[in-house]
Amino acid sequence: MFGQGTKRKSVSARVDTIVGQNTRIDGDVHFSGGLLIDGTVKGRVIAEEGSASVLTVSEHGNIEGDVHVPNVILNGSVIGDVRSDERIEMAAKARVTGDVYYNLIEMAMGAAVNGSLLHSDGSSASVVSFDREQIGSGNGGDHNT
């Protein structure tokens, strides 16, 4: 039938650690495996180098610091740069105030980046700049200068 064998690879396989909605962490978080943030982290979030770790930030989750994780699923907010060597999925309520470095990115309508999108496939990089109004309002194509 239609659609069989065409399912996309999901990176949200498992969660090893949860930062609860009423929890705030002050300081850097180093992890491997799966990390779900429903609360607030004021510090960097860094995955173990060479791992296939997954960071999931729910719509209630907030990070105030840089993120360096191979796979990111974002529906909350990050104030800082986000770096992913593999894949970033930005849901409709995702907000990033900072630059986003990615290999593969998926953005839902309503996701907002107030910074630059920097694509890198390991050999080259290209830069695209956006602000919150361009992506968030859906008027990204209408620019009169």
Task: Assess if residue 9 is contained within a domain.
Answer: no
Task: Assess if residue 56 is contained within a domain.
Answer: yes
Tens-place pLDDT, residues 65-76: 999 999 999 999
Task: Assess if residue 117 is contained within a domain.
Answer: yes
> What is the model's pLDDT at position 120?
79
> What is the model's pLDDT at position 129?
53
User: Which long-range contacts does 128-132 make (Cβ < 8 Å, 24+ apart)?
Assistant: 132/95
Task: Assess if residue 11 is contained within a domain.
Answer: no
Task: Assess if residue 12 is contained within a domain.
Answer: no
Task: Assess if residue 38 is contained within a domain.
Answer: yes
Tens-place pLDDT, residues 2-57: 444 444 455 545 899 999 999 999 999 999 999 999 999 999 999 999 889 999 99
Predicted confidence band of residue 109 (pLDDT cuts 50, 70, 90) = very high
> What is the model's pLDDT at position 140?
44
104-107, strands of its sheet edge to edge? 17-19, 34-37, 54-57, 71-74, 87-90, 104-107
Number of domains in the chain: 1
Tens-place pLDDT, residues 44-89: 999 999 889 999 999 999 999 999 999 999 999 999 999 999 999 9
As a whole-number percent, the residues of the chain with pLDDT over 90 amount to: 70
Rounded to whole angstroms, the Cα distance separating 114 from 65 reads 15
Task: Assess if residue 4 is contained within a domain.
Answer: no
Domain membership of residue 68 as a residue range:
17-135
Name the residue with tokens 């498992």.
Answer: 14
